[in-house]
Structure 1
Amino acid sequence: MKNLLQSSLAKFLTIAGFALCACFSANAQTIDKDDSIYQGLGKKEGITKIVNDFVPMILADQRIAHFFSKIKKEEFSELLVAQFCELAGGPCQYKGRDMYESHQGMGISNAHFNALAEDLQMAMEKNDIPSSISNRLVAKLAPMQRPIVSK
């Protein structure tokens, strides 16, 4: 009888725990669905304009252009739009490879990563994105430095 009671109590606590987690998870998703960066970037149309300025900048940037010599410009641009859109809280879904897989063995340094970030900042400035918004997008991108930089 005691084991049955303990077993029932354990099942109840497990179910209650899952229910509690589900409530917190649902609330977290609501709270995390802040699309103010997405809105500040001009939604998908604005992000596309930024990327359309950004990609030619990185292809012309002698510090990093060699990393992009074999890309398919249109496909790369579409992936960037989706990635920026998703990170900014927009409705897009990035379906590209993860950052570690994409950059493994490329020998990317902090200087290369920073050059790319500078180009992105310039593309956003060119599109009149307020610094408060551009800084928030860069902050969302910053955690990618670790899986990208290898030296």
Structure 2
Amino acid sequence: MVLLALALALQTTPPGEDPVDPYPHSNANAGATPFKGSAMLAAFHGRAGVDRIADDLVTRIVIDPRIADILKGQDEVRLRRLLKEQFCYILNGGCGYSGRTMREGHKNLGLQTADVGALVEDLQAAMRKEGVPFAAQNRFLAKLAPIKRDAVER
């Protein structure tokens, strides 16, 4: 308990991000377990490809008229970083995930099923642009699918 309190007290805000209240960091918060082996990470063109996909995804969702309003007032710098960490962790790229749980991270955003559908379409477009094979895209989306239970509020 003392170690947890110390770890929470030592959390710092990365450059460019808005400060957030401390919370326990855990890879379990990523919402999915990592793939085994290196094939999936290779299909995504390594960590550089993961970064490009996450950046492209955020660029797409902030202008997507179906979901852009949800992100107004949100910390885009933090969102980019956490998506990179989450995707890299799930693809077994050697990254840790430092975000909140999926339920806590999406709390009060008012996400609906249609919003998740729009997000998935934007992610598919980002993966296509990166040249991720269709089968690898589907495997990745299947890993992410259970997150919907924790993210959708209504």
TM-score (norm 2): 0.74
Matching of residue 114 in structure 1 with residue 106 in structure 2: no
Which residue, 142, 146, 149 being the options, matches 1:146? 149
1:55-74 residue pairs with structure 2 within 5 A? 55-74=58-77
- Alpha-carbon distance, 1:75 to partner: 2.1
User: In the TM superposition, what are the counterparts of 1:29-68 in structure 2 within 5 Å?
Assistant: 33-68=36-71
- Moved runs in structure 1, 4+ residues, more than 4 A? none
2:101 aligned with 1:98, yes or no?
yes
| Residue number in structure 2 paired with 1:16 | none
Partner of 2:126: 123
Higher helix share: 1
Q: Larger Cα Rg: Structure 1 or Structure 2?
A: 1
Count of residue pairs the alignment pairs up: 120
Inter-partner Cα distance in structure 1 for 2:86 and 2:73: 20
Which residue does 1:133 correspond to in 2? Answer: 136
Deviation at residue 74 of structure 1 after TM alignment:
2.3
Structure 2 unpaired stretches of 5+: 1-34
Counterpart selection for 1:82 from 76, 82, 85: 85
Could you tell me which amino acid in structure 1 is paired with residue 48 of structure 2? E
What SS is found at the alignment partner of 1:107? coil
1:36–1:89 Cα contact (<8 Å) kept: no
1:23 aligned partner: none
**Conserved 8 A contact 1:51-1:77:** yes
In the TM superposition, what is the alpha-carbon distance from 1:73 to its structure 2 partner? 2.2
Kindly indicate whether the alpha-carbon contact (under 8 Å) linking 1:63 and 1:115 is maintained by their aligned counterparts in 2.
yes
1:2-21 equivalences in 2 (<5 Å): none
Which residue does the alignment assign to 2:31?
none
The answer to whether the Cα contact below 8 Å between 1:83 and 1:94 also exists between their aligned partners in 2 is yes
- In structure 1, list runs of 5 or more residues that go unmatched: 1-31
Corresponding residue of 1:13: none
What is the CA RMSD across the aligned residues, in angstroms? 1.2
Distance in 2 (alpha carbons) for counterparts of 1:74 and 1:104? 19
Identity among equivalent pairs (%): 37
Taking the aligned partners of 2:42 and 2:73, their CA distance within structure 1 comes to 32
Amino acid at match of 2:89: E
Alpha-carbon distance in 1 for matches of 2:49, 2:113? 28
